[in-house]
């Protein structure tokens, strides 16, 4: 589903963020992406969502080389990827409903359909009944779950999470991870970037480790390399 | 899974396209309503900016009206050669009547001219000492409105002077030419000032939209992250610009009407002194529509230029 072949990313300042990264995440797989801050986790996620473009190598999503996706088509590509951020990236002056509905409104769903899907997504993350709240009224964990609901509301085949448990206590973190497992069970490909090694250790999923821009454990594809660095 | 296309069927997309336009259009108006003070300030600036060219347009229109009502000023006087018989003068008159340029013809015979001169000039006594009537017969020709412009009337005059009975013709056109030149100058001034003020409208709206874009920077980044197209993101801003234009145009119309009401009384007094009953014509309904259309176009243009320049720069990072 997500494939990196000899991918390097050098920022315009000369900073080498990624060097010859190879890995292949199968359809329906769930994996962790780990490494110290500055190891290139965020850059890797940005390459998948075309916020940045690779300097060298090939990034493919579902077999499509995304270097060939023009600027005009990037929005359509992003609709296939649900993204979850550490700082939630919510619209702070809009209600929970409006926040979660945003991808559907953009896609052009009818009002009735939007209500149905938003209700289902909020139910899934345990925020049913909080549609009218604005994010500021919610706790950090709840805000994160609003972000998750928004990421999954249009049922994307890929889910990316950048430090989704960064600000949460272990119990809440575990709840969030269980949530990702549910989506994964439903067939969604999930990639979670985190430096919370304790969390990873408790779950038996493949771990991709970045160290100073190079990847350890990327190959062999599909192998379960549970554990830490 | 198709990566680079919308997932909805085509018909659904077309229907949603219109619904979305409607929604975003009304949402933009609602947005303006939620910030009434700052929106109204912008609209007032636009209204005042647009009211000046609109007021000048009213001025030009009325100046044209008045000059048109002075058509008779383009009368041509033809002085007939001495010694022409009454019969040949009558045949001249009937010949002139069939000219396609001519509206009407009137005739003042030599004796009529003398009588008129005696009664009006005050030289009555002196004239009676003359052996014969020194005044020529005069045929007055009024051209059709189409030919009453200085150029047209002058051409007609030359044609009429070729008639054998005519000694020479006279067209008092100089002041008419001056008036027309003045009206032309006025029109040009209106165009120049109008263009500048329209540019001001575009800039004001452009700047207002720029600030709106800056204010919603995070929102725009988030929308781009979850897959909104440029068209989707820019549409509310374009509608905001159009709304500013429409409401600014209507304000301008109201301002102009108040101005006309204010001036009409004073002008009526002035014109009354000249024995004229012309009153100011304000902007008609069709001119209101034109004004609002123009203003909404300017609003769209201002926001489009702003959106093009600033929206693309905002990218998620």
- Set out the domains of chain B in order of their start, with CATH numbers: 20-69+178-310 (no CATH), 76-171 (3.30.70.3040)
pLDDT > 70: what percent of chain A?
94
Q: Residue B147 pLDDT > 80, yes or no? A: no
Q: How confident is the model at residue B277 (pLDDT cuts 50, 70, 90)?
A: low
Shortest distance, CA B295 to any CA of chain A (angstroms):
29
Least confident of A32-41, A68-77, B131-140: B131-140
Average pLDDT over residues A206-222: 74
Give the closest of A49, A83, A106 to B223, CB-based.
A106
CB contact under 8 A, A89 and B221: yes
Interface of A with B in 146-205 (CB under 8 A): 150, 157
Average pLDDT over residues B219-242: 91
CB contact under 8 A, A77 and B222: no
Q: Strand A158-162 to strand A81-84: parallel, antiparallel, or no bridges (unpaired)?
A: parallel
A110 burial (CB, 10 Å; 0-12 / 13-18 / 19+) is: middle
Q: What is the pLDDT of residue B293?
A: 95
Q: How confident is the model at residue A95 (pLDDT cuts 50, 70, 90)?
A: very high
Residue A82 pairs in a beta bridge with A159
For B221, which residue in chain A has the nearest alpha carbon?
A: A89
Q: Residue A226 pLDDT > 50, yes or no? A: no
Q: Residue B3 pLDDT > 50, yes or no? A: yes
For residue A76, the chain B residues in CB contact (below 8 A) are: 3-6, 227, 229
- Residue B185: both structure tokens together: 């100058």
Query: Of A73, A90, A70, which Cα lies nearest the Cα of A151?
Result: A90
* Dist. CA B23–CA B170, nearest whole Å: 68
Say if CB B107 and CB B61 are below 8 A apart: no
CA angle B290, B295, B301 (to 5 degrees): 125
Is residue A108 within 8 angstroms of chain B, CB to CB?
yes
Instruction: Give all strands of the β-sheet with A81-84 in edge-to-edge order.
Output: A81-84, A158-162, A189-193, A30-34, A206-211, A214-216
A110 contact partners, CB below 8 Å, separation of at least 6: B12, B16, B19
For residue B16, the chain A residues in CB contact (below 8 A) are: 108-110
Average pLDDT over residues B36-42: 86
User: Cis peptide before B137, with omega less than 30 degrees from 0?
Assistant: no
Least confident of A190-194, B35-39, B266-270: B266-270
* Dist. CA A50–CA A74, nearest whole Å: 7
CB contact under 8 A, A75 and B228: yes
Query: Of B215, B213, B288, which Cα lies nearest the Cα of B248?
Result: B288
* Dist. CA A224–CA B67, nearest whole Å: 94
B41 contact partners, CB below 8 Å, separation of at least 6: none
Number of A–B residue contacts, CB under 8 Å: 78
Give the closest of B5, B12, B225 to A83, CB-based.
B225
**pLDDT, mean over chain A:** 87
For A42, which residue in chain B has the nearest alpha carbon?
A: B317
Q: How confident is the model at residue B110 (pLDDT cuts 50, 70, 90)?
A: confident
CB contact under 8 A, B226 and A83: yes
Least confident of A76-80, B224-228, B312-316: B312-316
* Dist. CA B70–CA B63, nearest whole Å: 11
For A151, which residue in chain B has the nearest alpha carbon?
A: B226
Shortest distance, CA B183 to any CA of chain A (angstroms):
52
CB contact under 8 A, A79 and B227: yes
* Dist. CA A101–CA B222, nearest whole Å: 13
Q: What is the pLDDT of residue B276?
A: 66
Instruction: Give all strands of the β-sheet with B138-143 in edge-to-edge order.
Output: B102-108, B138-143, B76-80, B166-171
């Amino acid at each position: 589903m997500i494939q990196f072949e000899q991918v390097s990313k050098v920022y315009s300042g000369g900073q080498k963020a990624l060097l010859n990264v190879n890995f292949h995440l199968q359809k329906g797989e769930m994996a962790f992406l780990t490494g110290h801050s500055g190891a290139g986790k965020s850059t890797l996620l940005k390459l998948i969502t075309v916020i940045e473009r690779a300097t060298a190598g090939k990034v493919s999503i579902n077999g499509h080389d995304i270097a060939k996706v023009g600027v005009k088509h990037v929005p359509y590509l992003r609709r296939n990827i649900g993204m979850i951020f550490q700082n939630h990236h919510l619209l702070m002056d809009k209600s929970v409903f409006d926040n979660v509905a945003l991808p559907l409104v953009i896609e052009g769903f009818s009002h009735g359909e939007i209500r149905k899907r938003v209700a289902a997504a909020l139910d899934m993350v345990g925020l049913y009944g909080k549609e009218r709240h604005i994010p500021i009224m919610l706790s950090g964990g709840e805000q994160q779950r609003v972000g998750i609901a928004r990421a999954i509301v249009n049922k994307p085949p890929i889910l990316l999470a950048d430090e989704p448990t960064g600000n949460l206590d272990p119990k809440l973190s575990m709840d969030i991870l269980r949530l990702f497992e549910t989506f994964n069970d439903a067939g969604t490909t999930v990639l979670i970037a985190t430096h919370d090694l304790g969390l990873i250790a408790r779950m038996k999923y493949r771990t991709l480790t970045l160290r100073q821009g190079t990847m350890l454990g990327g190959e062999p594809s599909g192998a379960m390399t549970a554990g830490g660095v | 899974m198709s990566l680079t296309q919308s997932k909805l069927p085509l018909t659904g997309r077309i229907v949603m396209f219109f619904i979305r336009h409607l929604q975003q259009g009304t949402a933009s108006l609602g947005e303006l309503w939620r910030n009434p003070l700052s929106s109204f300030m912008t609209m007032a600036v636009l209204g005042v900016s647009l009211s000046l060219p609109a007021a000048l347009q009213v001025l030009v229109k009325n100046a044209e009206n008045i000059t048109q009502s002075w058509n008779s000023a383009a009368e041509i006087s033809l002085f007939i050669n001495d010694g022409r018989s009454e019969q040949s003068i009558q045949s001249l008159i009937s010949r002139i009547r069939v000219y396609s340029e001519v509206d009407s013809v009137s005739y003042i015979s030599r004796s009529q001219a003398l009588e008129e001169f005696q009664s009006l000039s005050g030289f009555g006594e002196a004239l009676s000492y003359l052996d014969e009537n020194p005044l020529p017969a005069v045929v007055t020709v009024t051209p059709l409105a189409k030919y009453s412009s200085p150029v047209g009337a002058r051409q007609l005059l030359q044609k009429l002077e070729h008639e054998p009975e005519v000694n020479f013709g006279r067209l008092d056109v100089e002041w008419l030419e001056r008036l027309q030149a003045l009206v032309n100058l006025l029109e040009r001034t209106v165009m120049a000032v109008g263009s500048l003020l329209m540019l001001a409208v575009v800039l004001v709206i452009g700047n207002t939209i720029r600030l709106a874009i800056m204010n919603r920077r995070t929102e725009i980044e988030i929308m781009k992250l979850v897959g909104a197209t440029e068209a989707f993101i820019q549409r509310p801003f374009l509608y905001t610009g159009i709304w500013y234009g429409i409401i600014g145009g209507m304000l301008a119309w109201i301002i102009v009407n108040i101005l006309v009401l204010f001036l009409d009384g004073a002008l009526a007094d002035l014109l009354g002194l000249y024995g004229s009953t012309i009153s100011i014509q304000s902007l008609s309904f069709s001119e209101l529509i034109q004004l609002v259309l123009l203003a909404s176009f300017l609003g769209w243009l201002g926001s489009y230029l702003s959106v093009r320049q600033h929206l693309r720069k905002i990218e998620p990072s």
